[in-house]
Amino acid sequence: MKQKLVLIGNGMAGVRTIEEILDRDPDRYQITIIGEEQYPNYNRIMLSNVLQKKMTVSEIITNPLEWYDENQIELINHDPAIKMDTENKTIITTSGKEVTYDKCILATGSRAFILPIEGAKLTGVVGFRTIEDTENMLEAARKYQKAVVIGGGLLGLEAAKGLLDQGMDVTVVHLEKWLMETQLDEKAGKMLQADLEKQGLKFLMEKATQKILGDTRVTGLAFSDGTTIESDIVVMSIGIRSETTLARTTAIEVNRGIVVNDFMETNVEDVFAVGECAEHNGNVYGLVAPLFEQGKVLADVLTDKETKPYQGSTTFTSLKVSGCDLYSAGNIREQEGINSIEAFDGINYTYKKIFVRDNQVVGVVLYGDTSEGNRYYNILKKNESIEEYTPVSLLHMVGEEASADVSEWPDDEVICGCNGIDKGTIMTAISEKDLASVADVTKHTKAGGSCGKCKSVIGDVLAYALGGEVVCAPTGICGCTDLTRDQIVTQIYAKKLTSSEEVYRELNFTNLEGCPKCRPAINFYLNVAWPKEHEDEKASRYVNERLYANIQNDGTFSVIPRMRGGKTNPQQLLLIAKVAEKYDVPMVKVTGSQRIGLYGVKKEDLPKIWEELDMKAAGAYAKAVRSVKTCVGANFCRFGTQDSMGLGIKLEQRYEFIDTPHKFKMGVSACPRSCVESGVKDFGIIGVENGFQIYIGGNGGTEVKEAVLLTTVETEQEVIDICGAMLQYYRETGIYAERTAPWIERMGFETVKEILLDPEKRQELLAALDDAVAGRRGNPWDEVVEDDKTRQELYTIGRV
């Protein structure tokens, strides 16, 4: 017969413990959960997003009612426990319901601390802890104008920004000298205040509230210095207090919280505690990561699994307010034995401070640029020695640049700090369960399911695991927005949006950092719209494009030097051979596009190899114009009617490195025998006696699409111009990650044909492409242009 397990508290810590128990031994217990609120389990961290109207209440429900039914859990909701008899193992709820247990978990959480001052019980004075609190604040915002938030900590600032977003005049009152003083040092706190002031928030620093004014409803606040301020609503956000009321009626030991040992056991047999109500070694944690760590230990204990004792947690903090990127972890107070390394970039308005004791990182504060937060947190959590790091570059390895590239991270690198999920766990889940989206990863691993800040990094891991081929939805856009590709591009032009950050903010993306589907797409659309104004966002590109090499299934890379038209010479071949021998390249192979590829190259060798090859990279890694495949042509072949190799070289010189929605392949055959399969290329050319046949929209991939004959022209110049016009039309109207075959099907072949064969429209497209070419971005490891031609000369080849 199953034992009866009762959980008192339907919040994040307790329910996560139940989830962990179900994962380990789903048939072990008959489970009852007693909750105070009327809602099923929800993600309390996301209340600020509900207040800021980025999410709805239904979207933050973690475990809907169906989950309880599916797992045969009895939910006693909106009926809190008010009495507990630990001798007879019974619990009484407010409604008088009696519940018996064999084992009981106390996860009663915490409550917002309300200052015990005059007026604290007036209507309009609220905490910020529950869905009900959030709904009360939204209702007040609809009726009133002025709001005061007491407390400049994490929740206080998120509450203030939410009310500001609802149109209220908001003032934050803070007792200390700077904001978030427990998570930030003074420099970062002042930077945060300056950014929030730019957004419209007002601040009264070093102010002590003496009383709240009003008769039945709040009208303002009075301070200890004799000043006052008017207000229609007061939000108390000065901390939390563990909810221990029930435990205090029993023999359970209670201090600041319910006292537990390393296995989350109280001093009363068969009674355990986790979460914000629990006190471990004198510490009560109010952040989600420690609560989940406690839950895992307790789940092991309750399912008789061997487990390491809970030893406390290293905490970290980030703020969910757009435009204010901050990250804090560990001990950030300079004291005896702790020194710091700091750097302030006044141009980019970023700040980093690393706290060090005995050659180990013990604390981190980042403001403005939090991209390395994960890296510093992992160094901190692993207690790594930093003797091999140089402090001048803020803990980069000597001689190396720090990398945000997930392909370099070890498997034990923590990706989701809230849930303690590392890269290896995510990679394994992607491989074994064929996961294809961030939502899939979250569902199967819980990574990204709490504060959500790590979703962009999860997306990077996903893109890395899938080799950069995270294909967009049919509209070209992901779950970050309901807008279609056309709607986004229209707004990019209409609002003159020139950066991804502006697009995410102005078009109300739910994830203001984007995801692996939309980041490269938005970057591409901006490159097309503003080739001169938009600075290409390299971090938004896939690892293949960032490194000018294709990642292979074992994590190494392939290096494919550019050989225009497939033509090479002895000097190039000697260079390739020397490099392959010097760097012990496992395989050298002629590729399908008639180039020579070096396979199995180590990532750290890539810059040196490109430098020594003294050749540009072929476009084999990019969503761009790829190498042009050619036959030897009329110069050598007895069947050839045209100089296919010469035309192929001109096409590459004219259009190499041009970004396109997907890879764009070309083939030039000198006769109808089509030795280079021109009929299955995006742009295929076949030489005939009177000129060149042009085919478009072919695809030789998993679903073969035969190209369609567009027209026959007499000169190479016409071929080059039609190709350029097609490229630009495809760039302007294509959905990111859409090949030309489905693009033509969507646009209609006759429409595409009409555009490309109209001389006036063709010239307009070519002029637009010239602007894009002028800002072309090629291989940064090689600025040498073959045959001493300048880049501008290359841009205009075929256009004289």
pLDDT tens digit sequence for 731-764: 999 888 888 998 998 889 999 999 999 999 999 9
SS3 58: helix
Note whether 669 and 641 are same-domain residues: yes
Report yes or no on 397 lying in a domain.
yes
Residue 524 placed within a domain: no
Kindly state whether residues 140 and 250 are assigned to the same domain: no
Distance CA 683, CA 89 (A): 77
Q: Are residues 97 and 182 in the same domain?
A: no
The CATH number assigned to the domain holding 774 equals: 3.30.413.10
Assess whether 227 and 362 both reside in one domain. no
Q: Which residues line the annotated binding site for siroheme?
A: 675
In the chain, the amino acid numbered 416 is: C
Q: 673 in a domain, yes or no? A: yes
Query: 2 in helix, strand or coil?
Result: coil
What CATH number has the domain bearing residue 565? 3.90.480.10
Q: What is the mean pLDDT of residues 642-661?
A: 86
Q: Is the dihedral of CA 402, 407, 408, 413 positive or negative?
A: positive
Q: What mean pLDDT do residues 340-365 have?
A: 86
| Residue 680 maps to a domain | yes
- In contact, 209 and 173? CB cutoff 8 Å: yes
The enclosing domain of 331 has a CATH number of 3.30.390.30
Neighbours of 690 (CB within 10 A): 10
Does residue 10 fall inside a structural domain? yes
Any idea what the Cα angle at residue 331 is, between residues 328 and 337, rounded to 5°? 140
Give the span between the Cα atoms of 284 and 255, in whole angstroms: 10
Asked if residue 783 has pLDDT above 70, the reply is no
694 touches 683 (CB < 8 A):
yes
Q: Has residue 19 got a pLDDT over 50?
A: yes
Give the pLDDT band (50/70/90) at residue 27. Answer: very high
Give the mean pLDDT of the chain.
85
| Closest alpha carbon to 742 in 489, 514, 471 | 471
Distance CA 582, CA 576 (A): 10
Q: Per the annotation, where are the binding residues?
A: 631, 637, 671, 675
Residues 295 and 280 in one domain: yes
What domain range includes position 377? 325-404
**Is the domain of 610 the same as that of 628?**
no
pLDDT tens, residue by residue, 671-698? 888 888 888 899 999 998 889 999 999 9
Most distant CA pair in the chain: distance in Å? Answer: 102
pLDDT at 782 over 50: no
Are 176 and 266 part of one and the same domain? no
Token pair recorded at residue 463: 């893109």
Asked if 409 and 372 count as a contact pair (C-beta separation under 8 A), the reply is no
Domain count of the chain?
5
For helices 438-445 and 423-433, give the axis angle rounded to 10 degrees. 110
pLDDT of residue 468: 54
**Domain annotation covers residue 412:** no
Mean pLDDT computed over 439-455: 82
Q: What is the CATH number of the domain that holds 200?
A: 3.50.50.60
Q: What is the pTM of this model?
A: 0.61
- 465 domain-assigned: no
Residue 498: CB atoms within 10 A of its CB come to 16
pLDDT confidence of residue 202 = 97
Q: Which of 365, 389, 404 is the endpoint of a domain?
A: 404
Same domain membership, residue 195 and residue 249: no
Among 573, 594, 621, the domain boundary falls at 621
Give the C-alpha distances (Å, rounded to integers) separating 24 from 295, 301, 304, 327, 383: 12, 11, 10, 33, 30
Residue whose pair of structure tokens reads 């630990």 in the numeric block? 86
How does residue 768 score in pLDDT terms, banded at 50, 70 and 90? confident
Q: Write the single-letter amino acid at 47.
A: L
796 and 719, same domain (yes or no): yes
CA 386/CA 409 separation, integer angstroms: 17
Q: What pLDDT, in 10s, does the model give residues 196-236?
A: 999 999 999 999 999 999 999 999 999 999 999 999 999 99
108 in Cβ contact with 246 (< 8 Å): yes
Closest CA to 302 of 19, 12, 11, 10: 19
Pairing of strands 29-34, 3-8: parallel
Q: How confident is the model at residue 780 (pLDDT cuts 50, 70, 90)?
A: very low
Core vs surface per residue 633-668: b (16+ CB within 10 A) or e: bbeeeeebbbbbbbbbbbbbbbbbbbbbbbbbbbbb
Assess whether 638 and 783 both reside in one domain.
Answer: yes
pLDDT in tens, 372-399: 888 888 888 888 887 766 554 444 444 4
Last residue of a domain, one of 220, 238, 256: 238
Mean pLDDT, range 553-574, rounded to an integer = 76
Rounded to whole angstroms, what are the CA distances from 446 to 54, 66, 292, 420, 675?
21, 18, 11, 9, 51
Dihedral (C-alpha) 601, 603, 607, 608: value to the nearest 10 degrees? -50
200, part of any domain:
yes
Question: What confidence tier does 631 reach under pLDDT thresholds 50, 70, 90?
Answer: confident
Q: Which residues are annotated as a binding site for [4Fe-4S] cluster?
A: 631, 637, 671, 675
Spatial CA neighbour of 730 closest among 692, 694, 756:
756
Secondary structure letter of residue 677 according to DSSP: -
- In this structure, the answer to whether residues 605 and 644 fall within a common structural domain is no
Distance, in Å, from the CA atom of 667 to the CA atom of 628, rounded to the nearest integer, reads 6
**In a shared domain, residues 628 and 759:** yes
Give the pLDDT score at 544. 65
For residues 202 and 172, the answer to whether their CB atoms sit within 8 Å is: yes
- Per-residue pLDDT at 322: 63
For residue 630, the cross-strand partners are 668
